[in-house]
Structure 1
Amino acid sequence: MLPSEEAVDLVRLVRRIAADELVPRAAASEAAGEFPREVFRTLGRTGLLGLPYPEEYGGGGLSYEVYLQVLEEIGSVWASVGVGVSVHALSCFGLVTRGTDEQRTRWLPDMLGGELLGAYCLSEPHAGSDPAAMTTTARLVGDEYVISGAKAWTTHGGEADFYKVMARTSESPGGRDGISCFLVPGDATGLAADRPEDKMGLTGSTTATMRFDGVRVPVERRLGGEGEGLRIALAGLDSGRLGIAAVATGLAQGALDAAVAYAQQRTTFGRRIIDHQGLGFLLADMEAAVASARATTLHAARLKDAGLPFSREASVAKLVATDHAMKVTTDAVQVLGGAGYTKDFPVERYMREAKVMQIFEGTNQIQRLVIARGLDTTDQGSVVSRPATS
């Protein structure tokens, strides 16, 4: 399927915004560990935070296929911002899909317009890949829920204006049907962030454990019915995995671009190093990896846009794109040699940033589990997931 003229123009616009607004700030912000809040406001006011959501609430009303290409462009120059845009979209997902008309009208315009930045609270210190084991509770007292517990690894933790929180509303620990979903304001009494994690990469993206000490949330801030929270969370994760796959693809593309530019300028033995077959083959493999990651990610997006099942394909995309990003960024450092190991060039940062892509939004071991289970339960004679359908 060829992209529309509108989509091509949008991607070109984002590429210009990335070059003019993001590139000049990325390295310094990452080195200083500064959270670029104003960048998200700029992207929101430009309309880039709500692209896949309805126009009536301030979104762009565009396909996921186009949205992921935008994410890739952002991720190719500043992964922290790309991840932040993806996480923000994930934090809006429950409201868009399960909120009432009143809830959507009240909160979505500012969320999609960038005035309110979101975060997503699912994981807990002891329950990362097993969300059903969460122990954070939400107890109904009159017309309010009282939330108590802790949520780990929260992107935008302590910086967000609202938190999409999954908490247990039943007394059955480990039960999948006893979890509900809430929108918690960032300034709620009893809500606090621990000191941000000191991370290997994505240092411009704040990650912190959020503490809920008797946080009171009105009933009107529950999304969906009681006990539907885990289903809302897992449905959103399929889309979130595509977001991370797109950012990882962009990160790999950025590393490849840097490696090619260096290889075209650096000379050894009287020749540009790109003209040496051994290094040329390495760059060719990097290009093939980026192209395959992009194709796999957009295939899953097209299934989603067509209203077809895409959960397994989302896991495939996340697995392929993030594993390739790790390989491509590592090879980019190798292409630059000793220079690649220094902070004078961005490829060492790209390599550090790629590692976490294999971990968050479900580790790649979890993705393999999802894929294997999908193979075991899906009619392999079906053409639904075949590329021809897109």
Structure 2
Amino acid sequence: MKAVASQIVQQMPPYLFSNLNRKKETLKKQGVDIIDLGIGDPDLPTPTFIIDQLIKELEHPENFRYSAFNGCPEFRQAVSDFYFKHFQVEIDENKEVQTLIGSKEGIAHLIQAMIDPGDFVLIPDPCYPVYKMAVHLAGGKIFPMPLKAENGFKPVFESIPIDVLKKAKLAFLNYPSNPTGATVDIEFFEKAVAFFKKHGIYIAHDSAYNLVTYGDYQAPSILQVDGAKEMAVEFGSLSKAFNMTGWRIGYLVGHKEIINTLLTVKSNLDSSQFLPIQKAAAIALESDLSFLKERNAVYEKRGKVMCQALQDIGIETGPLKGSIFLWVKVPESMTSASFCERLLEEAGVVVTPGTAFGDHGEGYFRISLSVPDERLREAAGRIKQFLMK
């Protein structure tokens, strides 16, 4: 029989978290108490007012029909209103908003919609793995933009070779960052827009963590930059912002032609998200966002607990200003992979090796703050015991 998988699928590495889940489940069956600080899946509940709206929408039979391919009017209007209230950016809900079945799906389909075989895509390294996998599936070529501590985990655009810039069509950015937790100010986006516009390269900014911020920091939108909508789009997600990972609802906003190009692909491949979910998500975006203060305070406290616990055992951590992740240096004499594998097997703690996000993730591991304080303290204690062996 011929091979079931295409060559392009055969060449894909397995999704990292699938392997971690298998190892984790094996140890659980052996009776090991696993503390999972791997996948960033919030343990906090979706706000009650959003759930209540979903229940109301389920009472209307017309909501059980197909959605418009670009999403229902209520959700697109809510996205537009959110951008005006939160970022003072005007968005045309009919031409500049595309509803997504979660931003992960949207990222993959956007690359498929824009990239021809051989086109270069500029990708942060380390980064959310979906960027790379989607470029691979589209037959594109990846050029990594290293994110280094000495540069605040921001790419140095000027270091990209001219021959690559000539062949590149799209550049990805992601702030607050997964996995590094790094944040940027509007001046960074101004520089990015000016640089990539000069070279005729579109920007896709993944802003999945824009409402998960701490202290007085507020994540900016790239669309706040003058002229950004002429060459940039921005992904948003309700997954982390509203503790709605399983609901699978997000959006893309910005450049009209890019939005329409994505719509062409999606209208042929899916029929948008279930209408009650879209309409409940609209209520979330139209809310006063007051619940965020309490929710973000929970994550901020967890971050401080874990940072202090790690510092007490001599492990360096960076500042926490955004996202639900800590980007932590691996102890000397260990690689990212060996540290994380041994930590799981010998201490029952799941963390993600930095190399899962790219070659420049070597020397780091990622901690998710999606477990309660006491489990974070327990995890830090186990890490300490592991290092003292």
TM superposition score normalised by structure 1: 0.25
Structure with greater proportional helix content: 1
Q: Determine which structure has greater relative contact order: mean sequence separation of CA pairs < 8 Å that are 6+ residues apart, divided by chain length.
A: 2
